[in-house]
């Protein structure tokens, strides 16, 4: 059974909407900003940059909750769920789904989150210090990581698999890969799939800073702070956003009238593995990542030479970028192009894989490679084309990687679609 992608919805620090994000990305724009104006709680944190969804009118591709939800809904829905609902609406419209005629028992939802609602957890913990009655009635439903997908399922009355993945920074890619398997194994004909994260909070940034995971240089030049593969990289930039894909069997897409030119890409391989090594650090040789990529290649039934582009997990950390580079080098020829779009948006944690899958799919569809920004001084033993500038290249196969704390690895291969 062939599985294809027919709809995309995107929210990132570059703004709202897939077309807007793609244009900004190819134009070398950065969504990374300074925390200096965000309030006193941010001031003592040594990292002073984040990738934040821009505030403003939706007419300017920015976020204002009142553009999307009334006060009652905005009060009961946490921000990561709000993002997911808006991105899902875009993806469903993009896929041209007739909600009145489709069999909703065959449509599932798999939208996960790595953390859920950090803001609501913090607010209610603080409020509880004043007593039990200060805790919000919607506290628990707002923080659960499956509530983004749950609310999508409820809004559209989709009755297929209602699933959610929470595998740290591999969440988005696992959600998409698991949805691919749900369709291949007959559990659904269509899946609304992806991930959402909204953890831009001083406590979250403090936690990552204490773990020495985030960048502390380039505080005065935030757009230069995320620099994957560059020798001056010093940690990731905490980001937020959402990516939602409509994934369905090819037969289902054709039966409902989807045209060949409206199919973005075909999913052909999914791999996943564990490092079995450390809670936060990958092994230097990247053997767990390599296992994941080899599994994806095996299921896609292609050779490494056939892969034209890799959208790397590369978060801009010293050890992580090196481990992934070593993993790629152990498998792929030097002709493969590799870039990290985290250079433009930061690390979206659980949402990283779904947003980056969208960028990978658009690279396949449009034969355009998004750049790795800030690549000024390449490490001597990094020897691939890391795409420092947007470039045109025929992309028949592309691979997207996502890895996460706990030693989780995931890889998906997308193919240029042809009937």
Residue with tokens 């995971």: 213
Q: For residue 313, indicate whether it is catalytic.
A: yes
Backbone angles phi, psi at 306, to 5 degrees: -80, -15
Q: For residue 277, indicate whether it is catalytic.
A: no
**Residue of 163, 201, 299, 313 marked catalytic:** 313
**Residue of 174, 252, 299, 347 marked catalytic:** 347
Q: For residue 169, indicate whether it is catalytic.
A: yes
**Residue of 163, 169, 201, 252 marked catalytic:** 169
Q: How many angstroms separate the CA atoms of 307 and 300, rounded?
A: 11
Please answer whether residues 293 and 331 qualify as being in contact, where contact means their C-beta atoms are separated by less than 8 angstroms. yes
Residue 249 belongs to what H/E stretch? strand 241-249
DSSP state of 207: H
SS3 call for 372: coil
CB atoms within 10 A of CB 50: 27
Classify residue 96 as left (phi > 0), alpha (psi -120 to 50) or beta: left
Please answer whether residues 140 and 116 qualify as being in contact, where contact means their C-beta atoms are separated by less than 8 angstroms. no
Measuring CA to CA, which residue among 5, 42, 8, 13 is closest to residue 344?
13
The residues carrying an active-site annotation are: 169, 313, 347
């Amino acid at each position: 059974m062939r599985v294809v992608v027919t709809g995309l919805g995107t929210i990132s620090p570059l703004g709202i909407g897939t077309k807007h994000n793609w244009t900004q990305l190819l134009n070398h724009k950065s969504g990374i900003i300074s925390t200096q104006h965000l309030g006193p709680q941010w001031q003592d944190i040594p990292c002073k940059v984040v990738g934040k969804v821009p505030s403003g009118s939706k007419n300017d591709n920015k976020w204002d909750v009142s553009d999307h939800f009334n006060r009652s809904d905005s009060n009961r829905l946490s921000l990561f769920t709000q993002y997911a609902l808006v991105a899902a609406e875009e993806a469903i419209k993009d896929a041209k789904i007739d909600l009145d005629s489709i069999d909703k028992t065959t449509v599932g939802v798999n939208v996960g989150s790595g953390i859920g609602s950090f803001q609501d957890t913090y607010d209610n913990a603080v409020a509880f210090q004043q007593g039990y009655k200060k805790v919000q009635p919607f506290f628990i439903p707002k923080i659960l990581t499956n509530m983004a997908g749950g609310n999508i399922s409820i809004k559209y009355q989709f009755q297929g698999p209602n699933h959610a993945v929470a595998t740290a920074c591999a969440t988005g890619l696992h959600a998409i890969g698991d949805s691919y398997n749900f369709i291949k194994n007959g559990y659904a004909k269509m899946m609304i799939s992806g991930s959402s994260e909204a953890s831009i909070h001083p406590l979250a940034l403090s936690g990552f800073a204490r773990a020495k995971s985030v960048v502390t240089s380039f505080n005065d030049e935030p757009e230069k702070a995320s620099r994957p593969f560059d020798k001056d990289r010093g940690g990731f930039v905490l980001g937020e956003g959402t990516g939602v894909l409509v994934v369905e069997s090819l037969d289902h897409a054709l039966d409902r009238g989807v045209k060949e030119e409206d199919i973005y890409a075909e999913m052909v391989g999914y791999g996943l593995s564990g490092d079995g090594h450390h809670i936060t650090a990958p092994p230097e040789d990247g053997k767990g990542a390599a296992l994941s990529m080899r599994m994806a290649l095996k299921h896609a039934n292609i050779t490494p030479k056939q892969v034209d582009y890799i959208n790397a997990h590369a978060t801009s950390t010293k050890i992580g970028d090196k481990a992934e580079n070593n993993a790629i080098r152990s498998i792929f020829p030097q002709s493969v192009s590799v870039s990290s779009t985290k250079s433009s948006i930061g690390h979206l944690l659980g949402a990283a894989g779904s947003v980056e899958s969208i960028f990978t799919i658009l690279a396949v569809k449009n034969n355009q490679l998004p750049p790795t920004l800030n690549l000024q001084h390449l490490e001597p033993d990094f020897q691939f084309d890391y795409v420092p500038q947007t470039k045109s290249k025929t992309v028949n196969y592309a691979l997207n990687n996502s890895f996460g704390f706990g030693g989780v690895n995931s890889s998906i291969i997308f193919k240029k679609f042809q009937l």
